Structure 1
């Protein structure tokens, strides 16, 4: 059935891929983005489609639209971007959630919140299940993002309990793929750009800290499955790849895929940088029948092709 779907943050990395899939499925898609970290280039191939429209708007201000479903992805997600203006980052998560939930309340729309594994902070439980409450510094340099997303989750659950809003909350773990910003400061884009330029690959600490990496196509599958699930499945639910890699292993793989001559360059570990990050996705597997299928090497090859084209412009 054709639906009118709002995607906030729709010109960003994840949002643009989600818009692609929704447009391909025949839905009427309204993409909202203030273009702070998003880019029109990510959605330019959609601008001529009759079932796609773009609205430049900041979600910290109310939206007045008629929609059936909402995917709330609006928020800078890389440390470089969200620490640039931490107050605005916090407002985007909190005021943005209030405005989007108000819209859902008025229209009766089902609303999906793109939360984050950062709600777990520097975890003392490994891998992280949804039942874990986290280990977060509330006053650190990353807190504007971590605590903003935690507060947004609170708002979603309170609107659900108090106003019976149909909500879906997903906690996204490290995701990568084409349309990542080359200067977003995230590890996959950092390593690929440095490798393609034959620059030293920056390793923070000793490189033993771990992350799990989910290719964007797999993640979008999870978004759509979560939104399509029965209303009683509210979440939160982890979406990510459970296979864990150290930063040294990732650097080695990127050097191999790019054919780079880059060496490794070591730097001090940033404040509050988590030592481990790995999702427990048993809930998503059981309730959604979802699990990622794209291996890291395959996903990196597709991502490297994208960055080669971007850096050659």
Structure 2
């Protein structure tokens, strides 16, 4: 099955619309961890699209925990010589025969449903995995290293919209902090390897990102909403729905990740998100049902079921200040309504 038309349009936008210096990657080997995941798979896809359209000869080492998951995700690329699957749990020791020119560490259990059910696995990829990959970059003389951090590092932010130095409180004795604290540690590992060994690290902090390929059953509220629209079911909120988040369409975010890797300053963190996409959960539910009036759907409120492992955030408002990324020449371009419409279309 070829790429979905929505994904093809996204690849065109990523590779042609943001002034990225793709020639830096020509003939290079790029290792991407978590390659079958939502956002890293789009990074893999964009490199393969560049090879198809610009013949850049990029070799992609796609590291995935499950080969079966990789093959499902990239079935439309079966047999391509420029895409190599490496089956590996990044939190366990490994060796790599090749020396990658660029490393993108995006493997992580980002869904809050894992913070309760598997906190050790959640923090391990962000710490043990990060250390192993930084050592690989050091030993390989890699030209670039991109670490996927998270807006969760801000905890309860001291200011909203939140800039890269507006840190708030994270309680390290709360098990939910397994994600935020390990992402923070991963960032410090990056700057420490840069300081001591000269590894050319860059850090991105994605805010809420949505789009084609996101798992609709991973427990995040906005994914639940999209699943409801696709199943013609009413949207059921498990809170008052007043918390706000800023949502960024995945193609815009992926272009931002590449921009930071190729043009960002070493040992520096960049927020990647869309401040114009800020909306309450209730408002997002109402927006989505309003986009499809023919379905006759509604937004309602329900109690969480007993035994629900989802661990909600205590942050009532999340919105990035993206001035630092904008100074590199990156800005998100996709409106909330257009992005969610494209997302829903991609599953049809």
TM-score, normalization by structure 2: 0.83
In the alignment, which residue of structure 2 is the partner of 1:187? 221
Q: How much has 1:254 moved relative to structure 2?
A: 1.2
Change (3 A) 1:9 1:37: farther
CA contact (8 A) 1:37 1:76 kept: no
Aligned counterparts of 2:340 and 2:191: Cα–Cα separation in 1? 36
* CA deviation after TM superposition for structure 1 residue 43, in Å: 1.9
Q: 1:280 corresponds to which residue?
A: 321
- Identify unmatched segments of 5+ residues in structure 2: 1-25, 52-57, 305-309
Corresponding residue SS for 1:25: helix
Deviations 1:276-297 (A, max 9, x none): 11000001001x2001001111
| Residue of 82, 93, 103 corresponding to 1:70 | 103
In the TM superposition, what are the counterparts of 1:118-157 in structure 2 within 5 Å? 118-157=152-191
- Give the direction of change, closer, same or farther, for the CA distance of 1:128–1:38 in structure 2 (3 Å limit): farther
Identify the residue that residue 24 of structure 1 maps to in structure 2. 49
Q: Distance in 2 between matches of 1:3 and 1:46?
A: 19
Q: Residue by residue, what CA displacement relative to the aligned partner does 1:95-135 show, whole Å, maximum 9, x if unpaired?
A: 00000001001001121000000001122311110011222
Deviation at 1:38, TM superposition (A): 5.6
**Residue by residue, what CA displacement relative to the aligned partner does 1:55-78 show, whole Å, maximum 9, x if unpaired?**
111111233231100000001111
Contact 2:115 2:311 in 1 (8 A): no
Give yes or no for the alignment of 1:215 onto 2:238: no
Aligned length: 306
Q: Which runs of 5+ in 1 are unaligned?
A: none
TM-score (norm: length of structure 1): 0.92
Q: Displacement, 1:46? A: 2.4
- Give the direction of change, closer, same or farther, for the CA distance of 1:141–1:202 in structure 2 (3 Å limit): farther
Q: Which residue of 1 aligns with 2:240?
A: 206
Preserved contact between residue 121 and residue 146 of structure 1 (Cα < 8 Å): yes
Secondary structure of the equivalent of 2:318? coil
Preserved contact between residue 204 and residue 270 of structure 1 (Cα < 8 Å)? no
Deviations 1:170-194 (A, max 9, x none): 1010000111111111122111112
1:58 lines up with 2:94 in the alignment = no
RMSD: 2.0
Asked if 2 retains the 8 angstrom alpha-carbon contact of 1:112 and 1:167, the reply is yes
Q: What secondary structure does 1:21 align onto?
A: helix
d(CA) in 2 for partners of 1:301 and 1:237?
27
